[in-house]
Structure 1
Amino acid sequence: MSGARRNPSAPLQGSLPGFEPPQRPTDRLFLGLFPDAGDAARLSQQAHGLRERFGLAGHLLAPERLHVTLHHLGDHVGLREDIVSAARNAADTVHLPPMEIAFDQVMSFATHRGTHPLVLCSGQPHEALRRLWQTLDLALQRAACPKPRSGSFTPHMTLLYDRENMPVQTVEPLTWTAREFVLVHSLLGQTRHIVLGRWPLR
């Protein structure tokens, strides 16, 4: 009724059970490829040269954060142990050899956040990488791992974030050898990666 005043001791709707506001995700899980320390340092130095060449101002990712994501296993509030367990079970079944990865293009991925990731990618299909991605995808399905569906795979390595949205540019191939894949727990907003498991490619 008009003019009625709310009892100040009554709880707001947002605090009632079932009406809590959604929490911001704090934890990310993914399977990916990381270069070893030597390759990471070399790739970081080459990335510095690309930033200078294209007149970009964004801060480069630290060498130890350079990676290729194979499967994004979701952003969550807290660590999802069920996903960790299923991902480990899936990874245990994958047996593939090491692979040389070559990226010969650099470009920005368009976003709506004001900054765009500058990434290394390849102008040609990377069959060995795609085989690893597909093998892992099937293994994750068999392990009933709850994760976002990934209908396509574009192998890439993020170098930095910048306000410029740069079109595709061809560069001298940047190569490194992937000798293992890893399960990573990323603490969102803290730039921290915690490796939960390693599986050699051999």
Structure 2
Amino acid sequence: MTQLTLPGFESPRPVIPEHHLFYAVMPDPDTAARIAGMKGWLRSEMNVKARLLGTERFHITLHSLGNFVRVPEVFVARACAAAAAVRVPPFGVTLDQISSFKGQPGHRPLVLTGSTGTEALADFQQELGKALRAANLRISSARFKAHLTLLYDEGRVEQRAIEPITWTVSELVLIDSWLGKTHYDVKGRWPLKGRSPSV
């Protein structure tokens, strides 16, 4: 039986988020190009057919601020102020493993991770978290696992070592990802600055 609706009493349409706001660090252009150069090796050595993400999308997520239908500018302003309060000197990060994360069936992330060389990044993620909590910004309590997503594929690969990829993290970025549109807007950039513990 078909249910009729009266004019002015239509069922409300579901609200679908269009934006995902998160903090991240990104490899410099030379490092991003080196990562993109792995595509031939992935095909020949690991039989991965899916295309890599664009180099402009390579990143390591530090904290997610959630999904939004529209991102309120006042919220962005608070997020920017919190990021600007963090004082950490530039540091190195090394990724030396490749593996698959669970993800959704048929859409599993293939990622780079680090067996060692991500300790300073984890410390930075914690410092940023303290600044966000001080600004009363809600963040995920999930355990931080530093990873850089290369692509999404149907198959799953076992973890294996790769030639280490190292770069110096010199800035923090706040990204607005347009969900389902593979488009990023950078809402803020903050050069890392601060005194090294050894100074």
Give the TM-score taking structure 1 as reference length: 0.87
What is the DSSP-based 3-state SS (H/G/I as helix, E as strand, rest coil) of the residue aligned with 2:167? Answer: strand
CA distance in 2, matches of 1:47, 1:134: 33
For residue 189 of structure 2, the aligned residue among 191, 198, 202 is 198
1:23 paired with 2:15, answer: yes
Cα deviation, residue 122, structure 1: 1.1
1:188 maps to 179
Matched, 1:35 2:22: no
Q: Which amino acid aligns with 1:167?
A: E
Residues 10 and 94 (structure 1 numbering): CA distance in 2 closer, same or farther, change over 3 Å?
Answer: same
Match of 1:100 in 2: 92
Change (3 A) 1:29 1:51: farther
Distance (whole Å) between structure 1 residues aligned to residue 14 and residue 5 of structure 2: 24
Structure 1 distance, partners of 2:28, 2:104, is 32
Counterpart pick for 2:57 among 48, 57, 65 = 65
Structure 2 residue aligned with 1:45:
37
1:89 aligns with 2:85: no
Map residues 31-180 of structure 1 onto 2, 5 A cutoff: 31-124=23-116, 126-147=118-139, 149-180=140-171
TM superposition shift of 1:85: 1.8
Any conservation in 2 of the 1:106–1:121 contact (CA below 8 Å)?
yes
Larger Rg: 1
Deviations 1:107-130 (A, max 9, x none): 001123422000000123622101
Q: 1:9 to 1:21 in 2, by over 3 A?
A: closer
> What stretches of structure 1 of length at least 5 have no aligned partner?
none
Distance 1:9 1:171 in 2: 60
Counterparts of 1:161 and 1:14 in 2: how far apart (Å)? 39
Moved more, 167-176 or 74-83: 74-83
Q: Is the 8 A contact 1:86 1:144 kept in 2?
A: no
Distance 2:39 2:156 in 1: 16
Provide the C-alpha distance between the structure 2 equivalents of 1:9 and 1:137, rounded to a whole number of angstroms.
48
CA distance in 2, matches of 1:59, 1:78: 30
Tell me the distance in 1 between the aligned counterparts of 2:43 and 2:163.
14
Correspondence list, 1:2-13, <5 A = 8=4, 10-11=6-7
Q: Is the 8 A contact 2:96 2:165 kept in 1?
A: yes
**Measured at CA, do residues 66 and 48 of structure 1 come closer, stay the same or move farther in structure 2, by a change above 3 Å?**
farther
Q: Distance in 2 between matches of 1:151 and 1:45?
A: 31
Quick one: which amino acid aligns to residue 102 of structure 1? T
Amino acid at match of 2:31: D
2:175 counterpart letter in structure 1: V
Distance in 2 separating the partners of 1:51 and 1:103: 20
Alpha-carbon contact 2:95-2:117 (below 8 Å) kept? no
Gaps in structure 2 of 5+ consecutive residues: 194-199
| Alpha-carbon distance between aligned partners in 2 of 1:110 and 1:59, rounded to the nearest angstrom | 18
